[in-house]
Amino acid sequence: MRRKTVLDLQKMKAENNKIAMITAYDATMAKLVDAAGVDMVLVGDSVGMVVQGLEDTLSVTLDDMVYHGRCVSRGLKNAHLTVDLPFMSYQISPEQALESAGRLVQEGKAQSVKLEGGERSAPAIEKIVNAGIPVVGHIGLTPQSVHTLGGWRVQGRGDAAAEQLIQDAMAIQDAGAFAVVLEMVPAELASEVTAALRIPTIGIGAGVDCDGQVLVCNDLLGFDLGFSPKFLKRYAELQNPIGEAVARYVEEVRNGAFPSSEHSFHRKNPAKKITRLY
């Protein structure tokens, strides 16, 4: 088997086959989702919130993304790996964007990189693509701009905002990106954008008409039942069974039930005593 490529993913749009993408951060989870058949794995800068316990993504560094990209890459055999460019790793200049993208490919083992922004990010996208690195765009709710957007809010609801989002999508495509993520966008608008673009759209809170969907692995598996955005569907609720399992472990350690004989190693001649050397 081989990893899915940009051409494979674009062919899926052309043949109207939906793309399943999952965000993951470590080799173990990558191996599990890869075996389950996902088409793409995203190492998102959401690692700051999901793994590092931060309030937003703004403190995540390029070194963080390189590290987690490399970890996830080791768990994949089939899925295409894309890795986020974090805040302030591409906004200064197209040259900076290319240098950062190069690190994600060389050191982080990414097959493609993802960055936020539409028209304003087009020069950076073009620079990266012209160097031979595939790019995924990201518009709608862009978490790195959370302070400008006034929080985690649906984007593109008004006519002017919808028109701007369409322009941003076109700019991303024209700059050479091979796909674009649409986050927290009205379903009707996402459908219109998807029909207008030649490149695949990957939705998160953007309706069923996108060419694909993405969710964070921890969210769809229900690691945190207190996190319940409208766009999230849980396919399991693992928070409680994980907690229960750990609680049983703690109890058995304290009462001496673990480790039992079956979980212990034994000498070949246990009756023979070891002579002290002191």
| CA pair distance 194, 212, nearest whole angstrom | 10
Task: For residues 193 and 11, give the distance between their C-alpha atoms in angstroms, rounded to a whole number.
Answer: 18
Known catalytic residues?
183
Phi, psi values for residue 109, rounded to 5°:
65, 25
CA distance 74 to 72: 5
**Distance between CA atoms of residues 136 and 26, nearest Å:** 21
What contacts 242, CB < 8 A, 6 or more positions away?
223
Tracing tokens 């990414």 back to the chain, one arrives at 110
Which of 201, 194, 200, 206 is closest to 231 using CA atoms?
206
